[in-house]
Each structure stands twice: as C-alpha cells, then as structure tokens.
Structure 1
C-alpha cells in the first residue's frame, strides 16, 4: 500500500508513539489523537509526543474517542486511508477497581471509532486486542484458531467484546478489519504500570518488588520494535472476504482477521527478574505473594499465521531488549 493518510488513536501511548515514529519514517502522513489521561503520568505521554511533533507529516489533536461528537467532527473534517486504534484503558488489575473506565474507552469509544470508519469507508482498520482474551484457555501456545470464550478479567472481556464488535462492522459494512492480539509488550518509553517498569524503579530505589504466585508464572515478553514491525507489515494486508469460510475463530467470511503478535518464547518470571538484575547491576528484594485476581499462569503466542502472511519473526532477545529499556530509563529519569 502506498503511504497515505493514517490515523493513530492513543498516539501518546507506548505502542502508539513507537508506531507513529515508524510510520512517519515510512512516508505516511500521520494524525495522532490521545486523551492524555492520568492513568499514569501524563508527563511521560507529553514527552513521547515531543519526539513526534517536529515532524512535518505529523499532527496531534487532544481528543477522547469516548466523546462521540468530537470523534465525528474528526472524521467529517479529515479523510484517512488507514486507521490504527491503540486507544484503550489498559491494565488487568486496574479493572478490578475502575470498571467504568474500561466500558467508556474499550466499548463506547471503540463503537464511536467503528462508526467513523463506517461512514468514511476506510481502506483498512487495525485495532489492538490483547493476549488477555485467552483467559482460562489451557492449551499452549495460544492460537488464534482456538475459541476465547472465558475471559478472567473485565479488561479481557472488553477486549474480546471489541473483537466481536469489529467483526460485526466488517460483516455489515465491508470494512477490512485486522485485530492485533499483543503479548506483554516492553521496551523504551514503556508504560509505568507494567511489571518490568515498576520492578526497575523499585530495584534502583532499594525497595522490594511484588512477585505474584511466588514467581511461578510465564510471560511471552515482546519487544516494542518487533510489535511495530508486525503492525507496519500488516497495514499493507487488509483482509478479504472468504467465499468458503471454514468456521474458524481466527478468520471470517467477512473481511476480518485476528493475529497474535508475540515473541513465541515464554520466559519464567524469576528468569525475567534475573535478567533485569543483570542489566541493572543490582539484586532485587523479592516479596513473594499469592496469585492476583485476573492473572493467568502463562502466556505463549503461536505466530505461524503472521509469519506465513508477512514473513514476521521476532528478532529481539530478552537480554538485549531489557538492556535497551534500562539504558532509556536511566537517561530519561537521570538515574546513575
């Protein structure tokens, strides 16, 4: 697809910032929107934006997708060839205490965005889902071809609901839609609520770090550059309708497709902490705790379909990715 006009929601977020930077380098004209909420420090979001705003092909608008009229004006005033929806209320544990934030952004906000794409007839909508949708699934690695009917957190339930809403719009209005199930994304400019980020802060401060389920957990940690590489490749592959659809959860008779984007190499939590200790040159004080509500024991992405379509393979080993994060963290926060 020839680079054209592209909308990124959640542009001041972790993945949104990195994606915007890459798309600009690829020659796209990018409009970014974000509500800059205080789920975590808005100063970090503004610092990310400051890295983008000098680019002549980038414009930013402070806008909340949950505000229907504002989003309608955006779509009626601008034409977008591609939309990438990364705006969402994130976090499993936060959803236990703030459920309405998830309904406002992940459900109402996403419907507003789907309506904008419908009336404008965009060429391709890509949207962020999550590995959390696999919930109580016990078969590993997680495959897009398995059903995902048992979420174990409200966050996961809203992400699964988003997939279903997106499918309905693809079916009804012939909008090519691609869902992106991200697996534990980490790297520079990351989210402070993520474990690796808070672990780094606490280890450097000499504080203990909470280790749930006594460390007996695994995550498919995926470096941000690998995530962005996969998304950029998928932009050029809008799904097509399937005439002989095999009733497969990952595909559809509609122009709709779901892909896992993960490292395909789960890491034990205690091994992850040991690698982070090496990068920091500090030992961690572990506070071993029971399993947290809404958590799952392991995540592990099967990425065969993504590899077959766009020749994607994650390229960043954990040790290198964490070293890059620690280097950024020390520079950004001025830690010795």
Structure 2
C-alpha cells in the first residue's frame, strides 16, 4: 500500500467502521441482528428440507420457494458474520479483494432474490389466470432455465461494477469505510478520481433489475386480481386469493425496504448517517428473517409439515 500526496494507492486492507455514531452500543445491536440471522438460517433450512423430502411439494411454487430460501441463507451469511466480528470482536479490517467479493455477493444475491420473486409472481399468474396450461408452461425444463437465467442475469450485471472499481479507481482518500459491510457507494466515495461512471452504473443496475422486476410483478398481480374478482363463486375467489397472500407479503417487504433504503440514501442528506446504515442492514437482514415465518404461517402445506415434524419428534421423545 503506497501513499501519494495524502491519498492511498490501491489499498490492500480496508477498515469497516460498523455503524458510525453508535460504536458504543454496537455490541448490543449485534444481539437482535444475530437472532434474526439464526432464525433466517434455521427457518429457511427447515423449508428447504421439507420441500426436498416431501414429494407432494415438488411443484413450481415450492421449487421457487426453495430457491428463495437458499438465496436468503446465502445473502444473510454474506453480511452478518463479518458484521458481528466488527460489533463483538473488534475485527474491522478486511482485505480489498475480500471487500469487492463481499460486495459482488451481496448485490448478486439481491438481484437473484428479485428475479425469484418475479418468477413466483409469473407462476401465480399462470396458475390463476390460465390453470389448464400451468403444468405445460412451467415444465421442469423451464424451471431449470429460469434458475440459470436469474443467476446469470445477477452475475453479469453486477460484475462490471466490481471491474470499474478495481480498474478505474486507483487512489483513495482514506481506507476507512463508514459502513458495516462493503456497500458499493460507501467504497466508491473513498476514491479521489471521478466516480460519476461508477455511480451511474450502480443506478443503472438497480433500476434495470428492481425496476424491471417490480413492473412485471405489479402487472402480473393486477391481472391476477382482475381474474380472481371475476370468478363466480366466493369460495373459489377466497381460495385463489389465499394462495397469493404469502407472496404479496414477501414482495411488499422486499421492495418497500429496498426503495425506502434507496431514497433515504439519495435524498435524505439531513438524516444522521447511522440511520442510513441501520436501514441498509435491515434491508439485507429482514427479508431472510421474515420470509420463512410468512410462508410457515400463511402456507398450509408448509405449516402442516412443520407441525408433523415437531409432533413426530415429541412422540419419539416420549
């Protein structure tokens, strides 16, 4: 690591502050964060196990749910262990390459989650609006193509932002990142060079992925609601709507947190920095934490299998 005229040339090690302004209470903040992480990992792992070993759940809706659960586990694992290392063990250093890798993983898994939510919305659209063709449309081959496509889209769109930082930004004002994880703009703002292209590309990726997905999810659910309300029988309307409640809750919590965090970062200059950091952390931790709870409570098949597992275990214990 070389220093020129007060700037650092290609730092080998960076320092994560954690939550600026709340350093004295970070150890306490880590407790609910750790609890959310444990619930996210246990809950999503339980859903994955149930879907894997229960043949009746090998349908597109539950396969997409398994993809979502695996993504949630990976996303929360990318951020929390290092964050707890900062909060509890005072280990703020991270190598520059590891920081870029963490950044790429975080943004890739966010994009994958958004893509899976879009696939789930399209699955519900076909199941409710054109049920006779659902089994034909959502074949095993299409599910595999969707999974590969969602992963490739996320990886390809997020790689250039890492390459731009690595190749375009050489000099840094400081090696201290005022954040609890390697967030794109927090790192870019450290550079002394013109970072406009990095900012523009970051916005392009955000709007290309989140904007595209939320538009098609909204259109899908508008058509779903129109179809549901046109059903002649009340029981059929209730049943169709109940299959969408869990999905709607998950969509709302993911995208509302995303846009709330985005707009407070872009337009909330008067808001204290620690509020921005906390919102960013919650945006990454809350969906993986809540998703298995929402699906466990609202999806009868998942709920019944969870109860059966615990009742069987209790019976064996006695």
Structure ranking higher in helix proportion: 2
Higher relative contact order (CA 8 A, sep 6+): 2
Give the TM-score of the pair, scaled to structure 1: 0.28
Would you tell me which structure has more strand in proportion to its own residues? 1
The structure having more radius of gyration, on CA atoms, is 2
